[in-house]
């Protein structure tokens, strides 16, 4: 039994935290969100230099062969600073799909760029009106001239506008909504027939709805087994969910720290409001729920790293996400309430924590979604 | 990170598990898993079995009969009890009184009381709460006046758990009513319950059970050698005891067993022709409790890990184990009761009724467990502790 971060894990998180403290404060973050691309290329290069993009990539592919546990402390640091670059989407989703599902040629073509920061990827898998379903319905790839012809539409593809390539889940057979017949295809973001409708998410990320109209792809665009990509997709989304849980811990801790500081300094009726027992107990509950959520984030990371039975992995990740979603809701709502009117202000970081935690609670499935999956597996 | 027990720890767990399977009397286990109150004889019988094995006071120093187990082994031991449906020994003697004696007792006091506690010869109870002094212990009023070689004790204790079984009671008493601060002028006394002037009166709780009592003291003569630590320094003793060992309050093992029982019960019950466990509303509520329990278990293990690494007690944060542990226990008793639907209504087993005796105990069990968030420092007091000690509010 050992629940501590290893020295390497802690050192990496410390250097990321130092970097973010110097180069990614609240005002700089605001400028990044307001910029044309919505991300900082300098920050991205720094993340790559610090090795963040290499950790979870297999050693054979030039990475460190680490797992979610190795990224937990770092994701937590990113969560504290509300990093808006699509790190999770690259190292959690796209990188995971390529390093586990890609052919030798694909891994050699994509992963060096992903690791050194020169290539970003985005995973396009959600479809309009399908909520959190992972199996595509409307996006279809038909065999065509030794390759593929891709048609369909994806929604809320985080990081698509700053990605060089998209990994697209598409139906190459089977019935709509079913797991069989699902394939993954690599698509250049600028390929003819690909169009993006880019927008800002409520938590400051860049996402896009992506349309594919008769996009012509070569035979080598296929990533993983034809028609058999669902296990790969499910694993990657579980992996990313575990990272998102760690990210959430950082944001919750930041919200709690800010709220505690506010309780100690803000005075009403001549005394700090933190002297009021009704507020103390609410603060304590925020603290407890964050610790409980941290325990579940640790469990999720450990489970996805252990491999083994996919159903057991899904069950554990879902249990963690239920707890994280509930905790994110409680911490975010209470942090605003305890800040009073100040908490509503765009100028206060706690309101940005609120928006981020609200979206974290929903991303990859909300509490109801995961409670249902958990119950069905138990 | 490594979330699992080591090979040695797992072997230890298996050893405890196997021993419990072979040594826990079936009738006692039946009472525990069937939610029946244990008699004095049940407790003493079980205590003697543990003492014969050398396991009645694992946490004591080895010289006094402890096992020398580390913190993780002790935690595993407690959790295996919960899983097996073994009753924990009442904490008043082996844990509370013994901890105080080991820390503050004179050699004579240790030699006189500790072996008898270890062997289960004396049944100890706790005389802390009074009418008007619950979570606010410094408000105790029971008076102990020094009269030469003895104290004369007058007053009343309340909520004395298992007081009807008690041979001895350890009490906080006021020895100096004129002290400037309330915390000063309190002393810690050991009182033989057979002393003339002591009356124990049952307090029947809403579950119909007799578990707690009022204890009245009328001109009770207590020899001065029964004073622990210095006169008027009892608050130091009380505080020491409060900070002592609350890892056990998570009670993960017992709740895991309850959850298993709930699953079985809900699988047997039917709703609209299908097993209740397949009802999404019931299932969601059960799943949420299960997830909370998993989070609690991991949190308790994080504390254990930290204690082992730092050699330091976990501090105020263990209060969260008490809060979450009791919330989960209460939620489980509530779900058990709701699982049997209308069969929860008979207040006791009815001869010839279709309602089985077990179902009739589920509502009383739910009633009884409201105590868990009140006793041992109410959950609000636990929040005060975290607010002050951890958060600095």
3-class SS of residue A182: strand
Separation of alpha carbons A92 and A86, rounded Å: 10
Clarify whether residues A54 and A111 are in a common domain.
yes
Q: What is the pLDDT at residue B348?
A: 84
Q: Which residues of B touch A293 (CB under 8 A)?
A: 295
| Contacts with B, A 276-295, CB within 8 Å | 277, 280-281, 283-285, 287-288, 291-293, 295
The helix or strand, by DSSP H or E, that contains position A151, with its residue range, turns out to be: strand A147-158
Would you state the structure tokens that stand for residue B10, as one six-digit string?
């797992």
Measure A370 CA to nearest chain B CA, in Å: 10
B58 by Cβ neighbours in 10 Å (0-12 / 13-18 / 19+) ranks as middle
Contacting residues for A30 by C-beta, under 8 A, at least 6 apart: none
Clarify whether residues A242 and A372 are in a common domain.
yes
A338 in any annotated domain: yes
Last residue of a domain, one of A120, A147, A167: A120
| pLDDT one-digit tens code per residue, A101-135 | 999 999 999 999 999 999 999 999 999 999 999 99
CA closest to B389 among chain A residues: A284
Provide the domain limits for residue B290.
246-390
Q: What is the dihedral of CA B57, B59, B62, B67, to 10 degrees?
A: 70
Last residue of a domain, one of A183, A199, A223: A223
Q: What is the pLDDT at residue B283?
A: 96
Provide the domain limits for residue A73.
7-120
Separation of alpha carbons B92 and A171, rounded Å: 66
Q: Which residues of A touch B9 (CB under 8 A)?
A: 1
Last residue of a domain, one of A223, A258, A283: A223
Clarify whether residues B22 and B77 are in a common domain.
yes
Q: Which residues of A touch B283 (CB under 8 A)?
A: 375
Clarify whether residues B210 and B274 are in a common domain.
no
CA closest to B72 among chain A residues: A1
Q: Which residues of A touch B5 (CB under 8 A)?
A: 1
Q: What is the pLDDT at residue B244?
A: 66
A2 in any annotated domain: no
Q: What is the pLDDT at residue B228?
A: 97
Subunit contact B302:A3, Cβ cutoff 8 A? yes
User: How large a percentage of chain A has pLDDT more than 90?
Assistant: 98
Q: How many residues are recorded in chain A? A: 378
Clarify whether residues B380 and B259 are in a common domain.
yes
In 3D space, the residue among A57, A55, A91 whose CA is nearest the CA of residue A70 turns out to be A55
Go through A299-332 and write b for each residue having 16 or more CB atoms within 10 A of its CB, e for each that does not.
Answer: bbbbbbbeeeeeeebbbbbbbbbbbbbbbbbbbb
User: How large a percentage of chain A has pLDDT more than 70?
Assistant: 100
Separation of alpha carbons A40 and A46, rounded Å: 10
Interface membership of A2 toward B (CB under 8 Å):
yes
Separation of alpha carbons B280 and B260, rounded Å: 18
Q: Which residues of A touch B295 (CB under 8 A)?
A: 292-293, 295-296, 323
Clarify whether residues B194 and B254 are in a common domain.
no
Clarify whether residues A197 and A290 are in a common domain.
no
Calculate the average pLDDT of chain B: 94
A316 in any annotated domain: yes
Q: What is the pLDDT at residue A378?
A: 82
Q: What is the pLDDT at residue B353?
A: 86
Q: What is the pLDDT at residue B227?
A: 98
Q: Work out the pLDDT band at B136, boundaries 50, 70, 90.
A: confident
Q: What CATH number corresponds to the domain at position B267? A: 1.20.140.10
Using alpha carbons, list the distances in angstroms from residue A364 to A93, A338, B265, B356: 11, 29, 33, 45
Subunit contact B393:A280, Cβ cutoff 8 A? yes
Interface membership of A3 toward B (CB under 8 Å):
yes
Active-site annotation holds for B245:
yes
Q: Work out the pLDDT band at A90, boundaries 50, 70, 90.
A: very high
Clarify whether residues B208 and B303 are in a common domain.
no
Clarify whether residues B168 and B203 are in a common domain.
yes
Q: Which of B1, B287, B387 sits opposite A302 (nearest CB)?
A: B1
B148 in any annotated domain: yes
How many Cα atoms occupy the beta-carbon half-sphere of B317 within 13 Å? Answer: 19
Q: Find the chain B residues whose C-beta atoms sit closer than 8 A to any C-beta of A.
A: 1-6, 9, 72, 280, 283-284, 287-288, 290-292, 294-296, 298-299, 301-302, 304-306, 309, 317, 320, 323-324, 380, 383-384, 386-387, 390-393
Structurally, how many domains does chain B consist of?
3
Last residue of a domain, one of B89, B112, B138: B89
Clarify whether residues A80 and A196 are in a common domain.
no
Could you write out the DSSP letters of every residue in A41-79? HHHHHHHHHTTTTTTTS-GGGTS----HHHHHHHHHHHH
Whether the pLDDT of residue B245 is over 70: the answer is: no
Number of H helices, E strands in chain A: 12, 10
Last residue of a domain, one of B168, B201, B233: B233
Q: What is the dihedral of CA B65, B67, B72, B74, to 10 degrees?
A: -50
Clarify whether residues B209 and B320 are in a common domain.
no
Q: What is the pLDDT at residue B243?
A: 66
Q: How many residues are recorded in chain B? A: 393
Q: Which residues of B touch A288 (CB under 8 A)?
A: 320, 323-324, 386
B353 in any annotated domain: yes
A1 in any annotated domain: no
Q: Which of A263, A281, A296 sits opposite B295 (nearest CB)?
A: A296
Clarify whether residues A116 and A126 are in a common domain.
no
In 3D space, the residue among A116, A114, A100, A102 whose CA is nearest the CA of residue A58 turns out to be A100
| pLDDT one-digit tens code per residue, A19-56 | 999 999 999 999 999 999 999 999 999 999 999 999 99
B98 in any annotated domain: no
Clarify whether residues B268 and B221 are in a common domain.
no
Q: What is the pLDDT at residue A140?
A: 97
Neighbouring-strand partners of residue A124: A168
Go through B325-346 and write b for each residue having 16 or more CB atoms within 10 A of its CB, e for each that does not.
Answer: bbbbbbbbbbbbbbbbeebbeb
Clarify whether residues A89 and A180 are in a common domain.
no
Measure B18 CA to nearest chain A CA, in Å: 23
Structurally, how many domains does chain A consist of?
3
B110 in any annotated domain: no
Clarify whether residues A104 and A135 are in a common domain.
no
The pLDDT of B366-374, averaged and rounded, is: 96
Q: Work out the pLDDT band at A151, boundaries 50, 70, 90.
A: very high
Residue keyed to tokens 């944060």 = B317
Q: Which of A1, A275, A323 sits opposite B291 (nearest CB)?
A: A323
Clarify whether residues B252 and B136 are in a common domain.
no
Clarify whether residues A206 and A341 are in a common domain.
no
Neighbouring-strand partners of residue B143: B154, B174
Clarify whether residues A75 and A112 are in a common domain.
yes
Clarify whether residues A170 and A107 are in a common domain.
no
Q: What is the pLDDT at residue B249?
A: 81
B105 in any annotated domain: no
What sign does the dihedral A191-A193-A199-A200 (CA atoms) show? negative
Residue keyed to tokens 């990475």 = A63
Neighbouring-strand partners of residue A150: A141, A215
Clarify whether residues B376 and B321 are in a common domain.
yes
| pLDDT one-digit tens code per residue, B286-342 | 999 999 999 999 999 999 999 888 888 778 899 999 999 999 999 999 999 999 999
What sign does the dihedral A336-A339-A345-A348 (CA atoms) show? negative
Subunit contact A302:B3, Cβ cutoff 8 A? yes
Last residue of a domain, one of B32, B63, B89: B89
| pLDDT one-digit tens code per residue, B54-110 | 999 999 999 999 999 998 999 999 999 999 999 999 999 999 999 999 999 999 999
Subunit contact B384:A285, Cβ cutoff 8 A? no
3-class SS of residue B58: coil
The helix or strand, by DSSP H or E, that contains position B188, with its residue range, turns out to be: strand B186-192
Q: What is the pLDDT at residue B241?
A: 84
| pLDDT one-digit tens code per residue, B110-121 | 999 999 999 999
In 3D space, the residue among A369, A357, A355, A254 whose CA is nearest the CA of residue A322 turns out to be A369
Q: What is the pLDDT at residue B350?
A: 85
Clarify whether residues A245 and A279 are in a common domain.
yes
Size of interface A-B (CB pairs under 8 A): 111
Would you state the structure tokens that stand for residue A214, as one six-digit string?
């008769």
3-class SS of residue B116: helix
Clarify whether residues B214 and B252 are in a common domain.
no
Clarify whether residues B180 and B261 are in a common domain.
no
Most distant pair of Cα atoms in chain B: their distance: 75
Q: What CATH number corresponds to the domain at position B151? A: 2.40.110.10
Q: What CATH number corresponds to the domain at position A218? A: 2.40.110.10
Q: Which of A274, A292, A375 sits opposite B393 (nearest CB)?
A: A274
Q: What is the pLDDT at residue A137?
A: 94
Among candidate residues B245, B290, B292, B327, the one labeled active-site is B245
Pick the range with the lowest mean pLDDT from A85-89, B63-67, B181-185. Answer: B181-185
Q: What is the pLDDT at residue B1?
A: 76
Whether the pLDDT of residue A177 is over 90: the answer is: no
The answer to whether B168 and B223 have CB atoms below 8 angstroms apart is no
Q: Work out the pLDDT band at B354, boundaries 50, 70, 90.
A: confident
Contacting residues for A235 by C-beta, under 8 A, at least 6 apart: A96, A100, A304, A310, A313
Contacting residues for B73 by C-beta, under 8 A, at least 6 apart: B9, B12, B58, B67
Clarify whether residues A249 and A330 are in a common domain.
yes
Q: Which residues of B touch A291 (CB under 8 A)?
A: 299, 317, 320
| pLDDT one-digit tens code per residue, A278-315 | 999 999 999 999 999 999 999 999 999 999 999 999 99
Q: What CATH number corresponds to the domain at position A38? A: 1.10.540.10
A213 in any annotated domain: yes
């Amino acid at each position: 039994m050992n629940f501590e971060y290893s020295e390497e894990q802690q050192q990496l998180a410390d250097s990321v935290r130092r970097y973010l403290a110097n180069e990614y404060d609240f005002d700089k973050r605001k400028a990044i969100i307001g910029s044309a691309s919505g991300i900082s290329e300098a920050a991205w290069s720094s993340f790559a230099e610090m090795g963040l993009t290499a950790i979870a990539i297999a050693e054979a592919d030039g990475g460190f062969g680490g797992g979610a546990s190795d990224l937990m402390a770092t994701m937590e640091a990113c969560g504290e600073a509300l990093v808006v670059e699509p790190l999770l989407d690259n190292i959690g989703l796209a990188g995971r799909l390529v390093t586990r599902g890609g052919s030798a040629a694909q891994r050699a073509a994509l992963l060096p760029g992903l690791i050194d920061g020169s290539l970003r990827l985005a995973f396009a898998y959600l479809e309009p009106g399908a909520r959190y379903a992972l199996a595509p319905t409307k996006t279809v790839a038909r065999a065509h001239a030794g390759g593929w012809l891709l048609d369909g539409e994806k929604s809320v593809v985080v990081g698509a506008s700053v990605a060089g390539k998209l990994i697209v889940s598409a139906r190459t057979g089977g019935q709509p909504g079913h797991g069989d017949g699902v394939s993954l295809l690599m698509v250049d973001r600028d390929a003819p027939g690909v169009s993006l409708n880019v927008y800002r998410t409520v938590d400051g990320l860049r996402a896009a709805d992506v349309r594919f109209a008769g996009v012509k792809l070569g035979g080598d665009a296929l990533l993983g087994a034809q028609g058999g990509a669902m296990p790969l997709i499910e694993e990657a989304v579980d992996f990313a969910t575990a990272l998102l849980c760690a990210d959430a811990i950082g944001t919750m801790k930041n919200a709690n720290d800010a709220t505690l500081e506010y309780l100690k300094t803000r005075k009403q009726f001549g005394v700090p409001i933190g002297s009021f027992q009704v507020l103390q107990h609410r603060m304590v509950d925020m603290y407890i729920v964050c610790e409980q959520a941290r325990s579940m984030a640790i469990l999720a990371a450990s489970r996805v790293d252990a491999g083994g039975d996919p159903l057991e992995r899904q069950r554990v990740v879902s249990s963690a996400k239920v707890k994280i979603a509930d905790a994110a809701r409680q911490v975010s709502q209470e942090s605003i309430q305890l800040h009073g009117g100040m908490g509503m202000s765009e100028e206060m970081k706690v309101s940005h924590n609120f928006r981020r935690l609200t979206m974290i609670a929903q991303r990859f499935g909300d509490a109801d979604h995961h409670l249902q999956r958990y119950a069905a597996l138990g | 990170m490594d979330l699992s027990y080591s090979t040695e720890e797992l072997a230890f767990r298996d050893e405890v598990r196997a021993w419990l399977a072979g040594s826990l009397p079936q009738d006692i286990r039946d009472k525990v898993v069937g939610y029946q109150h244990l008699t004095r004889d049940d407790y003493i019988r079980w205590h003697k079995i543990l003492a014969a094995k050398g396991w009645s006071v694992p946490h004591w120093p080895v010289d006094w009969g402890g096992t020398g187990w580390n913190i993780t082994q002790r935690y595993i031991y407690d959790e295996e009890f919960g899983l097996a449906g073994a009753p924990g020994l009442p904490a008043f003697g082996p844990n509370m009184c013994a901890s105080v004696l080991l820390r503050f007792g004179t050699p004579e006091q240790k030699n006189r009381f500790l072996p008898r506690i270890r062997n289960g010869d004396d049944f100890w109870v706790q005389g802390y709460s009074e009418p008007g002094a619950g979570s606010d212990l410094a408000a105790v009023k029971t008076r102990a006046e020094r009269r030469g070689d003895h104290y004369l004790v007058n007053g009343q204790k309340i909520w004395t758990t298992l007081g009807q079984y008690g041979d001895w009671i350890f009490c906080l008493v006021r020895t100096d009513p004129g002290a400037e601060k309330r915390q000063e002028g309190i002393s810690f006394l050991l009182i033989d319950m057979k002393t003339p002037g002591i009356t124990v009166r049952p307090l029947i709780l809403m579950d119909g059970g007799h578990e707690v009592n009022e204890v009245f003291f009328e001109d009770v003569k207590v020899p001065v050698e029964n004073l622990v630590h210095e006169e008027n320094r009892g608050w130091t003793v009380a505080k020491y005891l409060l900070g002592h060992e609350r890892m056990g309050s998570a009670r993960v093992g017992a709740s895991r067993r309850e959850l298993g029982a709930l699953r079985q019960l809900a699988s047997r019950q039917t709703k609209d022709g299908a097993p209740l466990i397949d009802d999404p509303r019931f299932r969601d509520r059960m799943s949420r409790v299960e997830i909370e329990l998993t989070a609690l278990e991991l949190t308790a293990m994080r504390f254990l890990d930290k204690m082992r690494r730092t050699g330091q007690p976990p501090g105020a944060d263990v209060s969260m184990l008490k809060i979450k542990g009791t919330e989960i226990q209460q939620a489980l008793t509530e779900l058990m009761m709701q699982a049997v639907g209308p069969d929860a209504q008979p207040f006791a087993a009815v001869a010839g009724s279709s309602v089985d005796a077990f179902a009739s105990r589920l509502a009383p069990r739910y009633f009884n467990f409201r105590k868990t968030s009140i006793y041992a420092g109410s959950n609000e007091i636990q929040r005060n502790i975290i607010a002050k000690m951890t958060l600095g509010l």
